[in-house]
Amino acid sequence: MTVTLRSLETAVPETVLIQSEARDVFATQPGLTRLGQRLVTTSFDQSGIDTRHAAVDELTTARRAENPVFFDAGSRQLLSPSTKVRNDFFAAKATPLFIEAAGKALAACDGIGPEDITHLITVSCTGFFNPGPDYKIVRALGLDPSVQRYHLGFMGCYAAFPALRAAKLFCDADPQAVVMVVSAELCTLHVRTSNDPDTIVGSSLFADGAAAAIITARDLEETGPAIRLDHFETILTPVGEESMAWNIGDEGFEMVLGTYVPHIIDEHIVGALEPLLAREPALAAKPYRDIEHWAIHPGGRSILDKVEAKLALTEEQLVPARETLRRYGNMSSATVMFVLKHILEQPPGAAEERICSMAFGPGLTVETGLFTKTVPAVTLQAQHTAAAAAV
């Protein structure tokens, strides 16, 4: 019996933020010091991001709201709505994203219908409401009202891993279980102007998006690439508690993303991987680059640079993470799911390819997973046939 991620789909809001335009807005906010302006320019320009998606459509300079709440396009000034206003906005705008991603994942999973879902796990750290997104998904998609529902809240960027791990545990316990995991984050609700370096870094990185997966051990026909969930591990680094945090303030949630985080990762990433790779001694004895795919949560470009250098990975192995960062920014817990989807959609080189995945969050917490991308023989044959025809 193997627990397999059978489908993985994503969803993003329609509004697209151009990074250079966002930089110019943040760099001209009232109250910024000269140092603050320089930090804004540097953080945005060196982020590795071209575009991000935002549920707050006011944030684009092309749209002028009659009664702006988050951004006044006329004066180009960022506003400071209360935490309640932001959270109400989350409840209104996150719900459609949760439902869209979940619906797409269900539609993409051959052999599974709404009536088959036995467990639903929702994930978010950017807002709260109840009845929550789990309830909304059950009603919108017509899931069984008795489906077991769980919500993982306020864990941060690594939260997809506890969700996937819980899904695996449910399926290990019951081979007929079918688990839906849905993560949605509206990080742009909480961006703000500031001279604080940590806040500036967060404003240059965070974005909105959602992802959903269907996971089961049922013996279903293999119709496309899938991901076998092999092992998970969790590590707390001995330092870093003050370097990454997520707190609730009067004017939104306040992200602490210290500039020292990449150095902490550089110093502790090898140790964080040891328990995971020890699950398979033959794999642990090989160089890291022998693992075909690396699904790294792109917390920022400097983090990816440290991972690539420390583990001696190739540029190609970091393409899924860097491309996700470039196109979508950091969507907190949903981001690593986008990276895994990128890997799923890459042309397969073999029937089985290993994936090492990791994400970082408050604590400093390092979550890791060892997976296997599986490809049906018919898919491989079709690819070989197409390649031969092209030659």
Active site positions, annotated: 157
Starting at the edge strand that comes first in sequence, how are the strands of the sheet with 119-124 ordered?
A: 148-153, 119-124, 178-186, 208-216, 4-11, 226-236, 365-374, 352-361, 293-296
Return the closest-CA partner of residue 125 out of 331, 390, 385. Answer: 331
The SS3 call for residue 164 is helix
Residue 225's nearest CA partner among 293, 274, 271 is: 293
CB 18 within 8 A of CB 47: no
Pinpoint the alpha helices (H) of 157-196: 160-173
* Euclidean distance between CA atoms 124 and 334, whole angstroms: 8
Taking phi over 0 as left and psi of -120 to 50 as alpha, with beta for the rest, 273 belongs to: alpha
Helix (H, G, I), strand (E, B) or coil at 373: strand
Residues 6+ apart with CB under 8 A from 367: 158, 161, 162, 232, 233, 234, 358, 359, 360, 361
Closest CA to 133 of 122, 143, 142, 141: 122
Backbone angles phi, psi at 28, to 5 degrees: -115, 20
* Residues contacting residue 185 through CB under 8 Å, at least 6 positions apart: 94, 124, 125, 126, 208, 209, 210, 331, 332, 333, 334
Region at 372 (left for phi over 0; alpha for psi -120 to 50; beta for the rest): beta
CB 372 within 8 A of CB 220: no
